Amino acid sequence: MLRQILISLALFLCPLLWGASAAEPAVAPLLLSSCDDPAEWSGGSADTARVKQGRASLRWEHAKADGISLAKVPADWSAYDRLSFWLYSERATNSSFMLILSSENPETEGPDYYSRSIRLNFTGWKRFRCYLPQMSAARQPLGWNRIGGLRFTASGWGNEPHPEAVVCIDEVILTHEGKEMGPRMTDEQLFEALNLEYPGLGEVKTAVAKGDLAAAKRALAQYYRNRQTPKWYFPAGVKADPKPEKPNTARADRVLRHEMESIGLRHQFGPEIDWTFDLTTAPGSNYAPNNEWTWQLNRHADWSALARAYRDTGDERYAREFAAQMMQWVRTCPVPEDAANTARSTWRTIEAGIRAAQVWPDLFYRFLLSPEFTDEALVTMVKSFAEHAMYLLPHPTSGNWLCMEGNGLFHVGVLFPEFKDAAKWRDTAVEWLYAEMENQVYPDGVQIELSSGYHHVSLSNFLGVFRLAQLNDIALPADYLKRIERMYDFDVYAAMPDRRLPGVQ
């Protein structure tokens, strides 16, 4: 009883700590399972040696059972926005398993559910907090008031039970804590993460020492506007010279009115853009379901259209809209605590890598000197760049995805050397990509997927690291360029007479 009282008291305070309105009615937490009694679960056994709360935890050995499920689950979760649980990992096997919350819709084919992937890349206890509104939805689940089950499974979704994976689960609980907001990095954490001894940050250091973080942010923004290195492919704020007589701003003008485009399909949003929206699965949609709509929306090609229009016209409306959308995206799409490579995710690791290497740097330098790119917007984007690197570093995948992740990590490490971890970001990225040149590329230079398209996905990211390193005089392994040249041999030998590559898959 005392334990439940303490839990209720602590979780009652969570909305206050997260800035929820005092007018919001308090929602008492709901303990789904204390995990003291394994009879509440199908699969698993009691573990009294590894306990986070109460008398026991639920032990799950993946070699003995590929999944476990909670026997009784309330159907209506609509009053809650967090599902939390403690997880103990005996060994960092780097294997993954899924949390599945079923919500079956009889009108659709196949299972309907919400999910989250969990990677065992840690040891000891770790608290997992799942923000329900941003969990991945498969097909058309009926909703949070129609939950039919809770289970963990190490099979399916590209996973297999790892013979050495052993976890313990404790205290599975539902709470209402209010909407998650970004950036997660606070001002204090930003200045702690920066190397304030870095050349040019003297005014920032002085302001931080005085405890004047507002002045420190102003000084940091001015530093970024004035710095001359590292180098990018065009000077900060440069406009088209001469300006085109008839600039093509059609897509940018649509973005101004929140008509966004992904995979060739447009959608008109209202004043607030829902970055988790999927046009292809929306009620009444005539399109075949395609997760790529949400994923590619979050690669921010629409923002690149704003940048091109700003370059060609100098019209500050485009800079103003970029700053507003970027701030809204960072605010409503906080960086996940774990890899979020699922449907309707705004933070798949592939998108994080693409943004950090191929999209956001252009945006940062294009809008850097605009009066509409305020100090607050600039510092917020710098925070998010750092959060991209901090997210990518512990969540590497494999194959061509890892090339995109590594390219993104390298770009943040090069373009933001003021961070204490910048060298680690750069070095780790180079290690990943250099290893992938061996893992992914045959001796004749052909990428292992034997696909013209994916050959160039990996190649373009290997090349992205090389070009930025060369631009900023950063050393790479001695044969890095030679390995890239070998991949271009494939293009030469496989090209048709018109110099196009066949669409090999």
Q: Exposed, middle or buried, 218 (CB in 10 Å: 0-12/13-18/19+)?
A: middle
Count the domains in the chain.
1
Q: Look at residue 146 and tell me if it is in a domain.
A: yes
What domain range includes position 7? 2-175
Write the single-letter amino acid at 194. L
Q: Look at residue 337 and tell me if it is in a domain.
A: no
pLDDT of residue 25: 64
How far, in Å, CA of 293 to CA of 275, rounded? 10
Q: How far is CA 241 from CA 34, 83, 186, 312, in A?
A: 66, 54, 39, 8
Q: Look at residue 78 and tell me if it is in a domain.
A: yes
Q: Look at residue 490 and tell me if it is in a domain.
A: no
pLDDT of residue 19: 42
Write the single-letter amino acid at 180. E
How far, in Å, CA of 99 to CA of 311, rounded? 45
Q: Look at residue 46 and tell me if it is in a domain.
A: yes
Q: What are phi and psi of 259, to 5 degrees?
A: -95, 100
Region label for 203, one of left (φ > 0), alpha (ψ between -120 and 50) or beta (otherwise): alpha
Q: Look at residue 251 and tell me if it is in a domain.
A: no
Q: If you search the block for the tokens 């496989």, which residue do you land on?
A: 494
Look up the CATH number of the domain holding residue 75.
2.60.120.430
Helix (H, G, I), strand (E, B) or coil at 172: strand
Q: What is the pTM of this model?
A: 0.84
| DSSP β-ladder status, 82-89 and 166-175 | antiparallel
Please name the helix (run of DSSP H) or strand (run of DSSP E) that holds residue 265, with its range, or none. Answer: strand 265-268
- Other beta carbons within 10 Å of 138: 22
CA quadruple 184, 188, 193, 198: dihedral sign: positive
Instruction: Say how far residue 405 (Cα) sits from the centre of its chain.
Output: 10
Q: Look at residue 365 and tell me if it is in a domain.
A: no
SS3 track for 419-440: ECCHHHHHHHHHHHHHHHHHHH
Structure tokens at 359: 């999209």
Q: Look at residue 459 and tell me if it is in a domain.
A: no
How far, in Å, CA of 1 to CA of 69, rounded? 25
pLDDT of residue 338: 80
pLDDT of residue 1: 44
- Other beta carbons within 10 Å of 480: 17
How far, in Å, CA of 71 to CA of 38, rounded? 10
Q: Consecutive sets of 10 residues in the chain, 505 residues long: mean pLDDT of each?
A: 45 42 72 97 96 97 97 96 97 95 94 92 94 86 96 95 98 94 97 98 99 99 98 97 96 99 98 96 93 98 99 98 99 90 92 99 99 99 99 95 98 99 99 97 92 93 98 98 94 87 79
How far, in Å, CA of 97 to CA of 179, rounded? 26
Residues with active-site annotation: 454
